[in-house]
Amino acid sequence: IDSLHPTSQASFDPKAYEGALVIFDEDEQIFWHALNSSTCRDNRQAILSSLKTLIQTVLRSGGQIVLQDADLSDISIDFVREFAETDIEPWVAVNHWQPSEPWKVKFYDTQHVKGGTKDDPSGLLKDAVDCVNGGGKIWVSTDSQKVKSKHGSKNLEKYFQSRCPG
């Protein structure tokens, strides 16, 4: 959203999106960020003007705006409706699905292992390797990638490849 102004490096042109499908994923956070973030402060008026033009261009040319958020509220829907400046009737899908059995979740406090206060994910990594080698699947999220990060994605990939053949 920070780049939705004409002087950004992205050279954003909202009129280039005629007939487009525009998906706002986590729209509650996106719109909050546009309205409140310090990173948008200097260009907020231009950003909101471009956002309004984008929404109008898409909707007036047969395109579609999709808002996705687990916490979608009328605030975001009304925000888009106001910017559209045309009468649009939203279609809302609500997911009521619940798993038949609760997920098995184990919390690893990697900050306080073996009486220490140092980041030690050894228990988590051991259980993950055991799970994969037992035919299970794992999901790993990390906020780092570089090799200099001990538990970044590149090092974790090498770690799992060396311990989980195939």
Residues 127-136 pLDDT 10s? 999 999 999 9
Dihedral, CA of residue 66, residue 4, residue 54 and residue 95, to nearest 10? 10
**According to the model, what pLDDT value does residue 61 have?**
97
Rounded CA separation 65/84 (Å) = 10
List of residues 6+ apart from 23 with CB closer than 8 A: 66, 68
Burial 112-125 (b: 16+ CB within 10 A, else e): ebeeeeeebbeebb
- Helix, strand or coil for residue 21? strand
**According to the model, what pLDDT value does residue 107 have?**
80
pTM: 0.64
How many CA atoms within 13 Å lie on the side-chain side of 165?
0
**According to the model, what pLDDT value does residue 112 have?**
63
Q: Where would I find the beta strands (DSSP E) of the chain?
A: 21-25, 64-68
Tokens 């996705």, residue located: 68
**According to the model, what pLDDT value does residue 142 have?**
82
Chain segment 83-108, per-residue pLDDT in tens: 999 999 999 998 899 999 998 888 87
